[in-house]
């Protein structure tokens, strides 16, 4: 599929733009003096466009993504001997929000005015507005490039607004940057209703899609740039978010109003919003099909000593995410994922000997591991053939699990008879590990978290739950004295996710139907699972669950969380569904990882109690901005 594009953002932005530490929403723009040079010719204008893209590229860093760090899928240890190991001081702050560290004086993941780590989205929006306003200055810029570059800027402006809506709810709409002679009152913008904000974003995406190419022809030079297929897929997600419970008749936020008394959130639920999302998602799927999007087909690289169908299936499931720029990835960003050593266990003596090779700090809670289905394709608590009550007991690997679990090795009984996505995405004590220098699946590396290579050597480089996000580490990566990490760019949207979004919209509009089941089953088939109806009929204690709207909604939500696990999507989904609070109600749990005996290790311990209430669905605006702009309303409950 050629809808994905790559940009090397090695441009020089105007000095005033990069060095300013002022608050954009409170002052006149400070880069006016640079406009003549910024748009003097086509080359400089293109450099400015890539500057508009630069903030988007920053969003691919999972540390900056609340959908990743506050989803409950992965946690980061605290306290460590050196809490700055995740990219310097503050690198793990996004993860620690779940421990109650968020505040309004100096908010974490502050996209409102955060100049640290390139987080100021208002500044990014201003760049887009500036490009659109000055696109006619360069005399050597062809008309077709003007049209396309404006469309790209509109998409970026729309997406930055959308990201702010998801974090803050009602936001100002900044369609045109203030003029140089704007008064103080004119730059003190006001928040708009959430419906107005969503409608604005959708309108911009429609304008952008009309003038963008459906596919990128020159991927060598343009991989990373936006296409109409991407714009339509994002539109589908935006409308589904607007239709979801967090924004559609949410009683918990009715009290949030503007200074003029305007209610920011709609008081009543509007089912018509799901109808719009349904139509948009179908249009996005049609566009993706026209661009030759499809489920990923495994592409093997390197020397493969031996590979059975069972392991091939796991690599295919994982490869859909980590094999960059493949036909399933509708939208991929350029920067490569840089934290594989945080997601990997130590499976070789070489890795254990180099204490800086693998840190393993990205820790998957037991609850996330239990989200994945049994091998019958139903939740572990519903499978009438699965020993849910005995899942924490110790059992030894057997021949029937030879390609998933180390033979004759003691591990938790809950690791047996699970669906292939579990073994592809999650690793744990006793799990086989294809790769890291060993590509013979007849005798794979494996995780020995009790007293082997993966056992925690100190209080800095360890996994605090006993589960690793295997999905994030390609089999080609090798950790050791000379680590070689197989790079890959971070996908924002995949075909399978779009199919499940369509199933969600269909169910919300029309309830259960053969069509809804078919879209879910297309995703499940890759994991070797039966269809939804057959799986629940044959194995679930709640056989009728797929036949009701509420029951099928629960199935679709779980299916999305499984299929898109660790991809930075679940946190946003759980927010829009208003389910994150329930997910984080109980303590985050893991195994007793510092005990070096089997019986001692396999004791469930509480790692910490998350702090997440109603106010945490949206982020606070920094107190400084509330004080300096009296037109702004602080986020409710803050």
pLDDT at 2 over 50: no
Confidence of residue 25 (pLDDT cuts 50, 70, 90): very low
Contact 292, 2 (CB under 8 A): yes
| Beta carbons within 8 Å of 441's beta carbon, 6+ residues apart | 306, 307, 308, 310, 311, 403, 432, 434
For the chain, give the mean pLDDT. 93
Residue of 117 and 536 predicted with greater confidence: 536
| Beta carbons within 8 Å of 370's beta carbon, 6+ residues apart | 380, 391, 414
pLDDT at 190 over 80: yes
The two structure tokens encoding residue 290: 């026209």
Residue 183's CB is within 10 A of a number of other CB atoms, namely: 10
3-state secondary structure of 131: helix
pLDDT digits (tens, 9 = 90+) for 459-517: 899 999 999 999 999 999 999 988 999 999 999 999 999 999 999 999 999 999 999 99
Tell me what pLDDT residue 116 has.
57
Tell me what pLDDT residue 117 has.
61
pLDDT at 18 over 90: no
Q: How far apart are CA 329 and CA 4, in angstroms?
A: 8
Tell me what pLDDT residue 166 has.
98
Lowest pLDDT segment from 454-458, 574-578, 592-596: 454-458
- The CATH code belonging to domain 492-585 is 1.25.40.900
pLDDT digits (tens, 9 = 90+) for 287-314: 999 999 999 999 999 999 999 999 999 9
Residue 497's CB is within 10 A of a number of other CB atoms, namely: 22
Confidence of residue 134 (pLDDT cuts 50, 70, 90): very high
3-state secondary structure of 411: strand
Alpha helix segments (H runs only) across 34-92 = 35-38, 42-58, 66-69
Confidence of residue 118 (pLDDT cuts 50, 70, 90): low
Q: In terms of Cα–Cα distance, which of 59, 159, 161 is closest to 109?
A: 59
| Beta carbons within 8 Å of 631's beta carbon, 6+ residues apart | 188, 189, 190, 259
Tell me what pLDDT residue 29 has.
42
pTM of the model: 0.94
| Beta carbons within 8 Å of 448's beta carbon, 6+ residues apart | 409, 429, 430, 454, 455
Look at phi and psi of residue 90 and say left if phi exceeds 0, alpha if psi is from -120 to 50, else beta: left
| 247 phi and psi angles, rounded to 5 deg | -115, -15
Domain locations in the chain as residue ranges:
309-327+338-487, 492-585
pLDDT digits (tens, 9 = 90+) for 411-440: 999 999 999 999 999 999 999 999 999 999
Tell me what pLDDT residue 33 has.
46
Instruction: List beta partners, residue 395.
Output: 411
Tell me what pLDDT residue 105 has.
96
Q: How far apart are CA 494 and CA 601, in angstroms?
A: 37
3-state secondary structure of 252: helix
Tell me what pLDDT residue 182 has.
86
Residue 561 vs residues 69, 337, 377, 574: alpha-carbon distances, Å: 15, 20, 14, 9
Half-sphere exposure of residue 335: CA atoms within 13 angstroms, side-chain side: 15
């Amino acid at each position: 599929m050629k809808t994905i594009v790559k940009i090397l953002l090695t441009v020089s932005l105007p000095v005033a733009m990069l060095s300013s530490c002022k608050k954009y929403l409170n002052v006149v723009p400070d880069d006016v003096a640079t406009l003549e040079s910024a748009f003097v010719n086509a080359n400089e204008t293109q450099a400015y466009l890539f500057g508009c893209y630069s903030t988007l590229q920053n969003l691919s860093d999972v540390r900056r993504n609340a959908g990743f760090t506050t989803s409950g899928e992965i946690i980061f240890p605290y306290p460590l001997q050196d809490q700055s190991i995740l990219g310097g001081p503050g690198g793990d702050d996004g993860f620690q929000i779940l421990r109650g560290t968020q505040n309004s004086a100096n908010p974490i993941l502050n996209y409102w005015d955060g100049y640290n780590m390139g987080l100021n989205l208002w500044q990014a929006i201003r760049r887009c507005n500036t490009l659109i306003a000055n696109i006619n200055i360069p005399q050597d810029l062809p008309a077709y490039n003007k049209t396309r570059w404006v469309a790209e800027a509109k998409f970026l402006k729309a997406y930055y607004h959308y990201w702010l809506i998801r974090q803050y709810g009602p936001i100002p709409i900044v369609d045109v940057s203030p003029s140089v002679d704007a008064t103080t009152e004119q730059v003190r913008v006001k928040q708009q209703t959430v419906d107005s904000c969503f409608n604005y974003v959708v309108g911009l995406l429609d304008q952008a899609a009309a003038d963008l190419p459906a596919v990128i022809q020159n991927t060598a030079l343009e991989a990373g740039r936006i296409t109409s297929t991407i714009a339509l897929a994002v539109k589908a997600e935006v409308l589904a978010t607007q239709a979801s419970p967090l924004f559609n008749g949410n009683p918990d936020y009715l009290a949030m109003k503007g200074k003029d008394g305007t209610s920011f959130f709609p008081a009543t639920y509007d089912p018509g919003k799901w109808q719009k999302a349904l139509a948009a998602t179908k249009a996005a799927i049609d566009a993706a099909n026209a661009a030759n999007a499809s489920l990923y087909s495994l592409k093997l690289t390197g020397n493969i000593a031996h590979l059975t169908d069972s392991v091939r299936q796991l690599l295919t499931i994982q490869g859909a995410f980590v094999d960059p720029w493949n036909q399933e990835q509708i939208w991929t960003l350029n920067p490569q994922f840089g934290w594989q050593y945080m997601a990997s266990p130590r499976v070789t003596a070489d890795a254990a000997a180099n204490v800086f090779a693998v840190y393993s700090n990205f820790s998957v809670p037991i609850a996330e591991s239990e989200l994945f289905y049994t091998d019958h394709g139903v939740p572990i608590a519903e499978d009438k053939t699965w020993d849910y009550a005995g899942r924490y007991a110790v059992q030894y690997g057997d021949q029937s699990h030879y390609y998933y679990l180390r033979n004759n090795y003691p591990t938790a009984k809950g690791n047996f008879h699970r669906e292939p996505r579990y073994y592809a995405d999650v690793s744990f004590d006793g799990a086989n590990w294809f790769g890291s220098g060993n590509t013979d699946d007849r005798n794979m590396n494996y995780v020995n978290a009790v007293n082997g290579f993966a056992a925690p050597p100190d209080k800095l480089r360890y996994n605090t739950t006993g589960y690793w996000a295997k999905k994030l580490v390609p089999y080609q990566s090798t950790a050791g004295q000379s680590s070689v990490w197989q790079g890959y760019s971070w996908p924002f949207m995949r075909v399978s996710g779009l199919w499940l979004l369509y199933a969600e919209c269909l169910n919300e509009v029309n309830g259960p139907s053969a069509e809804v089941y078919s879209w879910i089953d297309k995703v499940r088939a890759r994991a070797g699972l039966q269809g939804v109806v057959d799986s629940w009929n044959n194995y679930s204690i709640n056989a009728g669950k797929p036949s009701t709207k509420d029951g099928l909604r629960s199935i679709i939500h779980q299916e999305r969380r499984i299929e898109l696990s660790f991809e930075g999507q679940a946190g946003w989904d759980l927010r829009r569904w208003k389910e994150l609070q329930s997910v984080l109600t109980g303590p985050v749990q893991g195994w007793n990882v510092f005990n070096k005996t089997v019986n001692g290790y396999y004791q469930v311990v509480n790692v910490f109690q998350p702090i997440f209430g109603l106010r945490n669905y949206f982020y606070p605006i920094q107190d400084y901005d509330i004080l300096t702009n009296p037109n702004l309303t602080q986020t409710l409950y803050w």
